[in-house]
């Protein structure tokens, strides 16, 4: 992985984004913001799943009125998502939100943008300049012949430049499209052109495996480049599903403590044991272990001993229902497969408690 891109730090309530802070995970509440109990219930569930920031839609004055209680009771920072009407941003800031997101594609007048920047400056909160390929300024669509990565980058950077001219630099940027390659290209351009922290996401991905993969590929590619300070996985699914995928992405890239990480072979015709049922059983039994360790569960002598030696602890099966256990690169026990599996679980728990 490339070293992390050096970015300015911004603070959303008590959470630092950028400036070397851990990559945070965020999501959106999916019930009407006027349903205060519903928003708070979703937010608490998201926070329990590892979410660092919640964003809520603010489409009207009724939503603005709900914000005060939501902000007061939310366990994590609250961002108001504003489109079209700058007065909703001003109302949200007055209600005490921790940040606002605006979309320069639908908030076009400089006087309106400046009013929001001035209010955010006075309140000491950041603004996300959130570009979507589906709502770019007409002038940019014309200039670039469509919602290209260049058009998205210019939209974000020209809005940031305006804010800078008005003395406001408490900014993060996002540039989302449903197209993975276009999104990645847009973020890379902006990453080269400024040092503002970046909020990563692929938008309108849909649901299921394809949607999850789109986010994992797009966000993962950028994070591997060292680009990205906070992420949101967009799924046509529950916010907790979004958070779980987001947390998995940052954990698997080593950007957050990963807990128990399993290294397991896919099995093939050489495998003589029922690894496909052993693995979920081991996972289940180690699910409560709160420690960063890797546990290898490997099917045969081809790659088993090698992978198991590289893990913190591992088991490699061989023919005739026999297995060996490995720790710190060395084989330390051999015996019947079921006995060795039992010992693996007990030894992994013991190892986890020492971490």
Q: Name the residue nearer to ligand SF4 (CB basis): 115 or 263.
A: 263
Given 266, 329, 330, 354, the residue binding ligand SF4 (CB under 6 A)? 266
Within 10 A of 13 (CB to CB), how many other CB atoms are there? 16
Q: Which is nearer to ligand SF4, 227 or 300 (CB)?
A: 300
C-alpha span between 181 and 149 (Å, rounded): 9
Complex with ligand SF4: residue 31 or 301, whichever CB lies closer = 301
Helix, strand, coil share of the chain (percent; to 5): 45, 20, 35
Q: Which neighbouring-strand residues pair with 173?
A: 129, 198
If one asks whether residue 209 binds ligand SF4 (CB under 6 A), the answer comes out as: no
CB of 314 to ligand SF4, least distance (A): 11
Interface with ligand SF4, residue 16, by CB under 6 A: no
Interaction between residue 252 and ligand SF4 (CB under 6 A): no
Stretch that binds ligand SF4, among 33-41, 119-127, 190-198, 268-276 (CB under 6 A): 268-276
Stretch that binds ligand SF4, among 5-13, 135-143, 145-153, 294-302 (CB under 6 A): 294-302
Token readout for 131 is 């570009």
Contacts for 354 with CB less than 8 Å, ≥ 6 apart: none
> Is 267 one of the binding residues for ligand SF4 (CB under 6 A)?
yes
304 lies in the site for ligand SF4, by CB under 6 A: yes
φ/ψ of 339, rounded to 5, equals -65, -40
Paired sense of beta strands 230-232 and 24-28, if any: parallel
How many residues in the chain?
Answer: 355
* Among residues 125, 157, 298, 323, the one that binds ligand SF4 under rule CB under 6 A: 298
Question: Which span sits near ligand SF4 by CB under 6 A: 39-47, 74-82, 168-176, 260-268?
Answer: 260-268
4, two tokens: 């992390």
- The structure tokens 């849909």 sit at 206
Angle at 36 between CA 33 and CA 42, to 5 degrees: 85
Q: Counting contacts by CB under 6 A, is residue 302 touching ligand SF4?
A: yes
Query: Tokens for 333?
Result: 């026990």
77 is a site residue for ligand SF4 (CB under 6 A)? no
Give how far the C-alpha of residue 176 lies from the chain's centroid of Cα atoms, to the nearest Å.
14
303 makes contact with ligand SF4 (CB under 6 A): yes
| Number of residues near ligand SF4 (by CB under 6 A) | 12
Closer to ligand SF4 by CB, 185 or 325: give it.
325
Q: Does residue number 294 form part of the binding site for ligand SF4 (CB under 6 A)?
A: no
When binding is defined by CB under 6 A, the residue of 77, 239, 299, 314 that contacts ligand SF4 is 299
Measured in degrees and rounded to the nearest 5, phi and psi for residue 76 equal -130, 160
22, 251 contact by CB (below 8 A): no
Interface residues with ligand SF4 (CB under 6 A) are 265-268, 270-271, 298-300, 302-304
């Amino acid at each position: 992985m490339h070293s992390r891109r050096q970015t300015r730090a911004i603070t959303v309530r008590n959470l630092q984004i950028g400036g070397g802070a851990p990559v945070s995970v965020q999501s959106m509440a999916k019930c009407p913001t006027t349903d205060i109990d519903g928003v708070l219930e979703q937010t608490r569930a998201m926070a329990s799943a590892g979410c660092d920031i919640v964003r809520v839609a603010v489409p009207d004055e009724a939503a603005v009125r709900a914000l005060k209680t939501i902000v007061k009771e939310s366990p994590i920072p609250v961002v108001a998502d504003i489109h079209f009407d700058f007065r909703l941003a001003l109302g949200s800031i007055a209600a005490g939100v921790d940040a606002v997101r605006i979309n320069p594609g639908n908030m076009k007048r400089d006087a309106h943008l400046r009013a929001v920047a001035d209010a955010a400056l006075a309140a000491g909160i950041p603004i996300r300049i959130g570009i979507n390929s589906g709502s770019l300024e007409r002038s940019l669509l014309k200039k670039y012949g469509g919602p290209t990565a260049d058009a998205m980058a210019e939209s974000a950077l020209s809005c940031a430049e305006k804010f800078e001219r008005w003395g406001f630099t408490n900014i993060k940027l996002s540039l989302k499209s449903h197209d993975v390659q276009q999104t990645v290209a847009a973020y890379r351009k902006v990453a080269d052109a400024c040092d503002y922290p970046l909020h990563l996401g692929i938008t309108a991905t849909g649901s299921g495996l394809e949607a999850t993969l789109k986010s994992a590929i797009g966000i993962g590619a950028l994070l591997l480049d060292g680009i990205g300070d906070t992420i949101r996985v967009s799924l046509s699914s529950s916010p907790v599903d979004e958070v779980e995928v987001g947390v998995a992405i940052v954990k698997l890239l080593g950007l957050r403590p990963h807990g128990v990480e399993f290294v397991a072979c896919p099995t093939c015709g050489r495998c003589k044991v029922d690894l496909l049922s052993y693995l979920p059983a081991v996972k289940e039994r180690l699910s409560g272990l709160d420690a960063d360790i890797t546990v290898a569960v490997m099917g045969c002598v081809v790659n088993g001993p090698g992978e198991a030696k590289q893990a913190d602890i591992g088991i490699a099966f061989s023919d005739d229902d026999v297995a060996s256990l490995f720790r710190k690169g060395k084989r330390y026990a051999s015996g019947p497969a079921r006995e060795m599996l039992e010992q693996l679980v007990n030894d992994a728990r013991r190892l986890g408690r020492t971490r």
